[in-house]
Amino acid sequence: MISTEQALQTILNSAQDFGVEEIPFIQSVGRILKEDIKADRDFPPFNRVAMDGIAIDYLQFQKGQRTFPIEGIQPAGSEQITLQNSENCIEVMTGAVLPNSTSAVVRYEDVVIENNSARVSIETVCDRQNIHTKGKDGRAGAILIHKNTKISAAEIGVLATVGKATVKVAKQPKVMIVSTGDELVGVAETPLAHQIRRSNVFTLVSLLEKLHIPSETAHITDDKPILKEKIKDYLSTYDVLLFSGAVSKGKFDFLPEVLDELGVEKLFHKVAQRPGKPFWFGATGTLGLNIQNVNLDGEKSADIRSENKNQKNTVVFAFPGNPISTYVNCLAYFYPWYHKSVGLENLIENAILAEDVTFKPNLTYFLQVQLSYRYGHLIATPIKGNGSGDLASLVNADAFIQLSKTEEITFKKGEVFPIIRYR
């Protein structure tokens, strides 16, 4: 049994680059940018009028002139005009190009217009006031958004502005989510007394949807030959297989055996944590190799190499079948694996434990908590659940707090621990 840190490191070592695709920018929210976005011209691209009002030659104001006959109008979206007489002014609209030969904008609020003449009613006007100077926000060629940024609404605005109608983003892995367990029936079915409905696959679909990863789902009966045939097929098609169930010690937990027979290298089975302990992780192709090369002796490694080198690279996350176990392991392991694969940094968030928690086993404890904000502090209040089968308790929580084993068996109120937020 390995620690949660070792498990995570092994998983991060098998992160994989799925390449780049170009998609319409408006569909790119939530995806990871795979090119630097540069200003195609200066921003603003011209000396831009920042207030509705009049544009004047500042020198005239400085000389004492206060009343300026209106010579013309410069609307937004019109070609730049020129002030012909420096004692005149031009009416200008927000977003317009500043007219030639003008150097300050006085807003309508500070002007009285009568008989086609504008009288400035304030005492102080500054040179260049209310002008958003060409290139002030960024010069042509400057990087506005860096590669590997997660695209949000803010980035969409910039992409539109610089004319990136299509944008390069990280390709998503091709994922198959498989449930096992003969006790499971469909959501629309009425289970018999000894049956329950499938739920983990749908939870996983939703957790992946949050990362904008589409996925497919299947259910396989607890029958070894069928399991083997189907998984063989999936391994040749998908980049990631997510399983829920059939990895424990049960008589019908064929999964580890079947994966082994299909040449999936087991990288670990069982992690010192609760819930989610019987988690199995492995890989095929060079992914299985790379890690084996480090971990195993030379002979075994060479063996595996000859067998695996023509295989497609697929990672296999086989989560225990309890709802909370599947849920927390997807967040604690699949999410970081995905983030590393697409080039996104894994940021760790911390919260303050709201009450003492006593936990005796020599395991890392992922405890459900409700989050709240008090005076800029993030507070994590534990939720009492009934163990790893209690799906309903997830509904009452917002995150897991990760309490890693120390000498003490009590985690103190007021101490700070990492959290994995899921809302």
Q: How far is CA 7 from the centre of its chain?
A: 22
For residue 131, list its beta bridge partners.
49
DSSP state of 109: G
Judging by DSSP bridges, how do beta strands 349-353 and 89-92 pair with one another?
A: unpaired
For residue 112, list its beta bridge partners.
119
Nearer to a second copy, 360 or 423 (CB): 423
Of the candidate residues 66, 128, 136, 232, the single one contacting a second copy (CB under 8 A): 136
Nearer to a second copy, 44 or 336 (CB): 44
Q: Is 165 in the site for a second copy (CB under 8 A)?
A: yes
Contact positions with a second copy (CB under 8 A) in 18-47: 25-26, 29, 39, 43-46
Of the candidate residues 16, 200, 314, 341, the single one contacting a second copy (CB under 8 A): 200
Can you tell me whether residue 255 is helix, strand or coil? helix
Q: Is 190 in the site for a second copy (CB under 8 A)?
A: yes
Of the candidate residues 288, 323, 336, 382, the single one contacting a second copy (CB under 8 A): 323
Distances 334 to 207, 297, 339, 346, 393 between C-alpha atoms, Å: 10, 28, 9, 12, 22
Q: Is 101 in the site for a second copy (CB under 8 A)?
A: no
Nearer to a second copy, 165 or 408 (CB): 165
CA atoms of 167 and 30, how far apart (whole Å): 13
CB of 22 to a second copy, least distance (A): 14
Amino acid (1-letter code) at residue 74: Q
Q: Is 114 in the site for a second copy (CB under 8 A)?
A: no
Nearer to a second copy, 204 or 262 (CB): 204
Query: Contact letters (x/-) for a second copy, 54-93, by CB under 8 A?
Result: -------------------x-xxxxxx----------x-x
Contact positions with a second copy (CB under 8 A) in 239-298: 245, 248-253
Nearer to a second copy, 94 or 293 (CB): 94
What one-character-per-residue DSSP string does 174-236 give? PEEEEEE-TTEE-TTS---TT-EE--HHHHHHHHHHTTT--EEEEEE-S-HHHHHHHHHHHHT
